[in-house]
Structure formats: C-alpha cells, structure tokens
Amino acid sequence: MTALAIEVRRLAPTDLTAIETIERRAYRTPWSRSMFASELAKSTSVCVGAFEGERLVGYTISSRYVDAWHIMNVAVDPDYQRRGIATQLLQRIFELTESNRQRGYTLEVRISNEGALDLYERLGFEKRGIRRGYYTDNREDAVIMWREYLSDET
C-alpha cells in the first residue's frame, strides 16, 4: 500500500457535500447534512478533515463539554481505511485542544467495531462502560471510552 500525502486541516461549510458522501459510504445510519452544518457552525466544536490534495478522505467532529471533548464522529472513506488516517485526525484534535488540559476525551463506539476499539485503545482511550441499545439501526450496544489529557511528559 502506498503512502498518502495527507494534510489535516479544519473543515469548512464548503466541505459539507464531501463529508456527506463519506458519511453515507462509511455508516449504515449516517448523520444528516444539518447535523454536520450545526457542528461546523458551533464555536465549541473542533472539526478537522484529512485531505489528499483537494479530496476529503476522512474527518472527525468533536465538541467541547464542561469536563470533556466528545469525539462525536470519526469517518474515513472506505477506500482509504487502514492507512493511519483516523489516527492522524485524532492526533490533530488532541493538538488543537491541548490548551484545555483539564478536559479529557470521550466517545462511543459500536461494541462490534473491533478495528475502532483497537485504534482508540492505541491512542490511550480506556473502556469505561456500556450504553445498552445505543445504535438506532439495530439496537447494538456502544462502548463508552475515555482518555485523559496526555501531556508530552506522559
């Protein structure tokens, strides 16, 4: 597999069509365009995309809460998965939010998504609980994961 020249940068409203395309390819129950537009407009959200040239190939959406950054959505175009793009996206979120050291990071992931669970654990997330019947398409449980802010000294 060839290495990709990926640039991770903030998403803009002009990226919505590309975001929707990836979302529909990556998930059985995709977010709506208005959900993405709302997050992009919020001052408490950090939304970044991975671009190969001008082509969006992945993104993550996170939102600041009182005590945590909630990683709300991570998606990589299926043609680009397993190439480290999700790792780059999440590491960029960690960099952009490092000034909020008092906050940790949380997310939910399908209990059956072993690849994502492995990725999040490699990035320092720990399993903290289960949300029963969380996913509306099949009532699958979600694993709640948490990551403390990790400084360079850790």
Distance from the Cα of residue 118 to its chain's centroid: 14
For residue 28, what pLDDT is reported? 86
DSSP letter string, 103-149: -EEEEEEETT-HHHHHHHHHTT-EEEEEETT--TTT---EEEEEE--
Q: For residue 53, give every residue at least 6 positions away whose Cβ sits within 8 Å of its Cβ, in sequence order, or none.
A: 5
**CATH fold group of domain 6-147:** Aminopeptidase (3.40.630)
Dihedral angle sign, alpha carbons of residues 7, 13, 19, 23: positive
How would residue 3 be classed by pLDDT, with cut points 50, 70 and 90? low
For residue 21, what pLDDT is reported? 97
> Bridge partners of 47?
61
Rounded average pLDDT over 105-127:
95
Nearest 5°: phi and psi at 139? Answer: 60, 25
The pTM of the full predicted model, rounded to 2 decimals, is 0.89
Q: Provide the greatest CA pair distance for the chain.
A: 42
Q: Which residues are catalytic?
A: 108, 120
Rounded average pLDDT over 16-38:
95
Q: Give yes or no for residue 153 having a pLDDT over 50.
A: no
How would residue 23 be classed by pLDDT, with cut points 50, 70 and 90? very high
| Average pLDDT over all residues of the chain | 91
- The domain segmentation of the chain, as residue ranges, is 6-147
Quote the Cα angle for 87-128-97, to 5°.
45
d(CA 54, CA 94): 23
Amino acid at 106: T
- Pairing between strand 68-76 and 104-110? parallel
- Residue-wise pLDDT tens digits, 77-92: 999 999 999 999 999 9
